[in-house]
């Protein structure tokens, strides 16, 4: 039983609509902030949401099939090496870039304030490595 061209188009459009709906729902869930991510060596930003879970920041891409986080950044030992406002050509305007080791996060100023408060609210031993 072969699929017609119209059936293939309908299936593709339905899949695209479900992935877009997933991204919309992720952005609307309480406790998440819109956050872009760039890994070392990558040139572009990937859109997604960040969510604080226990001692980790989970980053989930908007446009993906899996519901699990793509990156889990542990608060323990995490240091912010630089933070800078993004401008034209560098990334989304009005966002701040935060370099955290192998990843760079881009977020709004409000989200950055929450991120820095989350880092600072760690228990005193959270930044110490176990010997």
What is the structure's pLDDT at 96?
94
- Distance linking the first and last C-alpha atoms of the chain: 63
Q: Domain count of the chain?
A: 1
What is the structure's pLDDT at 126?
55
Domain containing residue 67: 5-127
Contact 34, 28 (CB under 8 A): no
Q: Is the pLDDT of residue 131 over 50?
A: no
- Average pLDDT value for residue range 59-85: 84
Least confident of 45-49, 64-68, 111-115: 64-68
What is the C-alpha separation between 106 and 46, in angstroms, rounded? Answer: 10
- Average pLDDT value for residue range 51-80: 84
What's 62's domain CATH number? Answer: 2.30.29.30
Residue 116 corresponds to which tokens in the numbers above?
């820095």
Question: Tens of pLDDT along 89-126?
Answer: 887 888 999 998 889 999 999 999 999 998 888 776 65
Furthest-apart CA pair in the chain: how many Å?
64
């Amino acid at each position: 039983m072969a699929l017609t061209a119209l059936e293939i188009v309908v299936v593709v459009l339905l899949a695209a609509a479900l992935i877009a709906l997933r991204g919309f729902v992720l952005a609307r869930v309480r406790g998440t902030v819109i956050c872009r991510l760039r890994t070392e060596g990558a040139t572009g930003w990937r859109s997604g949401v960040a969510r604080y879970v226990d001692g980790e920041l989970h980053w989930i891409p908007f446009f993906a099939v899996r519901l699990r986080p793509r990156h889990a950044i542990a608060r323990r030992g995490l240091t912010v090496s630089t933070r800078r406002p993004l401008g034209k050509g560098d990334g989304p305007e009005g966002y701040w870039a935060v370099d955290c080791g192998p990843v760079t996060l881009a977020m709004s100023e409000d989200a950055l304030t929450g991120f820095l408060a989350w880092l600072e609210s760690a228990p005193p031993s959270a930044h110490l490595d176990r010997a």
